[in-house]
Amino acid sequence: MKKELIFEGNEKRVYATENPDQVIFHFKDVMVAYNNVKRARLTGKGVVTNKISAFLLGYLNDCGIPTHFIKRIDEREQLCRKIEIIPLEVVFHNRMAGTLAAKLGVEDGFKPSNTIVDLCYNNDELGDPLVNSDQAVALSLASYDELEVMFSIAKRAGKLLSELFHKAGIELVDAKIEFGRASDSGQIIISDEISPDTCRLWDEQTGERFDKDRFRLDLGDIIPAYNLVLERLESI
């Protein structure tokens, strides 16, 4: 049963339930980029991101990767485990694209021989800066043991998601994964969402982008691209 609103972000609302260890995520028809500098309302966006994230988080659960996702309730909402947010993002890159490519002076889409894993401080006011493990511990964001668990989960999830998207003819270029401590156990689990909002997804044959870069770069057809990702995943 949905109860009071306990948090509202740019693209989602979080509601309490009668179970103190569970919450309801509501996905809104809002898209933001560049730390909320660019913002738009897109009809149907909440529906498709909810469905994609539910599909991907459910897949990770089935593969033994712990996430906050329990089940999808309806087109816009899903039931999730309540967590204490860890304000860090583990970002893995199978290619260098976007800000990373520009910062390192390589062509957008450059494919390195290794997978790059970054740790970012999830703080909009500071622009989500890169941090290392020592800095994260110094700021009391996580312990060394927790960081080790987060990196391990992110690497396993990245491999599984890359293989899944490959079956759909899509290359997982990069992905941002967030974590929290489950309120019922303290377990470190994947939280928030995994969707084209948090991943770069390129068609393996044409290189066409099916992710938030369509919004960032004014490429248009954002919702059709997201729906295509969902259709390909569901067809596997």
d(CA 9, CA 13): 6
pLDDT tens column, 140-183: 999 999 999 999 999 999 999 999 999 999 999 999 999 999 99
Identify the CATH assignment for 2-235 out of 3.10.20.70, 3.20.20.10, 3.30.470.20, 2.130.10.10.
Answer: 3.30.470.20
Predicted pLDDT of residue 136: 98
* Predicted TM-score of the model (pTM): 0.96
Residue 47 has pLDDT above 90, yes or no: yes
Q: Answer yes or no: are the C-beta atoms of 89 and 176 closer than 8 Å.
A: yes
Predicted pLDDT of residue 199: 98
Predicted pLDDT of residue 68: 98
Predicted pLDDT of residue 185: 97
Across the range 84-110, mean pLDDT stands at 97
* Strand pairing class (199-203; 77-81): unpaired
- CB-based burial of residue 235 (10 Å sphere; 0-12 exposed, 13-18 middle, 19+ buried)? exposed
Across the range 48-56, mean pLDDT stands at 98
Predicted pLDDT of residue 201: 98
